[in-house]
Structure 1
Amino acid sequence: MRHQLNFACEGATLAASLDNAPGAAGLLIVSGGNEIRSGAHRGMAMLAARVAAAGYPVFRFDRRGIGDSEGANGGFEGSGADIAAAVAAFRNAAPQLARIVAFGNCDAASALLLHQPLPVDALILANPWTYEAAAEAAPEDEPALPPAAAIRARYLSRLTDPKSLLRLLRGEVDFAKLRRGLSALRQPKSAAPPGSLAARIDEAAARVTIPATLLLATGDRTAQAFVADCPAALKRFPVERLASPSHSFAGADGDWLATRILEVMGRV
């Protein structure tokens, strides 16, 4: 059964949802971006119901300044106190809990790494966000390119797509954009600059002392950037890969996501 509740975080009242279940292991879902706790296309609400039906209580919340919660939105890099307060509220609402697994997609996964240590027992990190904010604000006449790994995967896919090859033969391709992409592929891959978000996430991964699992949609640009920029994290944590471009595990990909999460819940 799903309950709505509130909890406090540094003077603000935050909104949360609890899908109750009798299990001693529970799942804390941290929302990515500025999404409310139901997630993209209600994906996190449906995931919560599925995990709870398997016997594990699930807690979701809106961080400060998002959805039904009070306070100022400090973004994922300012969400450490929100996550810690949510963990405490989860334990209070489900007193049978002995273990908590925290799951986050996109910048929620990055937040779970950057704000360690947190009072949880395991992490599930999906498609962690590594883009710098400044990189997203390129001039309109010179849009920012995706990482080389994303360009390479996209071109390989198109080379096997008859429709894309036909467009090329007909001259229906933006050749200026094509040249720019090919030029990016020729550039040697450099390490993430010290102090960059990617470097800080990779360093944070090295300090994690609890079990963690990476879930990556191999066709997702965010996941591809993470793979390119965070080699230490890839070596440190076990990785599960899904051949999909869906960043939020939409549609049938939600079944794969739920299965992977339930596997982790059964191990903690």
Structure 2
Amino acid sequence: MRHQLSFACEGASLAASIDEAPGTTGLLIISGGNEIRSGAHRGMAILAQKVADAGYPVFRFDRRGIGDSEGANGGYTASAPDIAAAIAAFRQAAPGLTRIAAFGNCDAASALLLHQPLALDALILANPWTYDDDCSDEDGQHEPALPPASAIRARYLARLKDPKSLLRLLKGEIDVRKLLRGLSALGKSAPPAVPDSLAARLDAAFAKLACPATILLATGDRTAQAFIETCQPADVKVERLDSPSHSFAGKDAEWLADRILAILAA
């Protein structure tokens, strides 16, 4: 059964939802971007119900300044007190918990990494955000302004293998100068992350993980592609889905739920 509740965080009242279940392992869902706790197209609410139906209690919340919560929105980089308060509220609402895993997509995944150590037993990090700029769209979703170089290279390689593209080239319908600039990038490797950049800070966080972590990547998503290109986490399990869906929408939601349930059951 789903209940609405609230909890305090540095003088602000934060809105939350808990999907009750008998299990002693729970899932804490951290919202990405400026999303409310239900997620894009209610994706996180649907995920919570599936996980709870499998026997695991689930806790979601709106961080300060988002949705039904009070306070100022400081973004994901200032969300450490919100997450810590949510963990405590989850334990109070479900006193039988002995283990909590946290799931975050996009900058919520980055927040879970940056704000370690937290009182968590496992991290599930989907399509972590590595860009230093903030490109949230009107739905609160992060979207980089340009695809990473790896995505550009992959696109040019695909075009070179496409007979229709070759025919367009022969007909003079393709800008040869742009093509040559793209081809020049094919053999170049990605530069190392700049010190103090978000990507470098995430790599440092991976190196000192306080609990086991699993990375989930939709390999056709720009954010995931940028993570692959700029971060090199060692000794961290990575699972990949051939999909462009940043939020694991549609049929990809089943894959996401299955991965999360497997981690909760471990």
| Residue of structure 1 equivalent to 2:23 | 23
| Residue of structure 2 equivalent to 1:213 | 214
* Structure with more of its chain in helix, by fraction: 1
How many residues align? The count is: 259
Does residue 68 of the first structure (1) align with residue 76 of the second (2)? no
Matches within 5 A, 1:55-134: 55-133=55-133
Asked if the contact 1:217/1:243 (under 8 Å) is kept, the reply is yes
| Residue of structure 1 equivalent to 2:193 | 192
Question: What TM-score, normalized by structure 2, do the two folds share?
Answer: 0.90
2:69 alignment partner, SS class? coil
Q: How big is the shift at 1:217?
A: 0.6
CA shift digits 1:179-198 (9 cap, x unpaired): 55444445442100000010
Asked if the contact 2:24/2:96 (under 8 Å) is kept, the reply is yes
Matches within 5 A, 1:146-165: 146-159=147-160
| Shift in CA distance, 159/74, structure 1 to aligned 2, threshold 3 Å | same
**Unmatched runs of 5 consecutive residues or more in structure 2:** 137-143
User: What amino acid is the match of 2:99?
Assistant: R
2:256 alignment partner, SS class? helix
| Residue of structure 2 equivalent to 1:50 | 50
Q: How big is the shift at 1:236?
A: 2.2
Asked if the contact 2:153/2:185 (under 8 Å) is kept, the reply is no
1:146 alignment partner, SS class? coil
| Shift in CA distance, 172/135, structure 1 to aligned 2, threshold 3 Å | farther
CA shift digits 1:161-191 (9 cap, x unpaired): 6776676667666766655544444544210
User: What amino acid is the match of 1:40?
Assistant: A
Q: How big is the shift at 1:228?
A: 1.1
Question: What TM-score, normalized by structure 1, do the two folds share?
Answer: 0.89
C-alpha RMSD over aligned residues: 2.3
Q: How big is the shift at 1:147?
A: 1.5
Asked if the contact 1:77/1:111 (under 8 Å) is kept, the reply is yes
| Shift in CA distance, 126/173, structure 1 to aligned 2, threshold 3 Å | farther
User: What amino acid is the match of 1:37?
Assistant: R
Asked if the contact 2:116/2:210 (under 8 Å) is kept, the reply is no
| Residue of structure 2 equivalent to 1:261 | 260
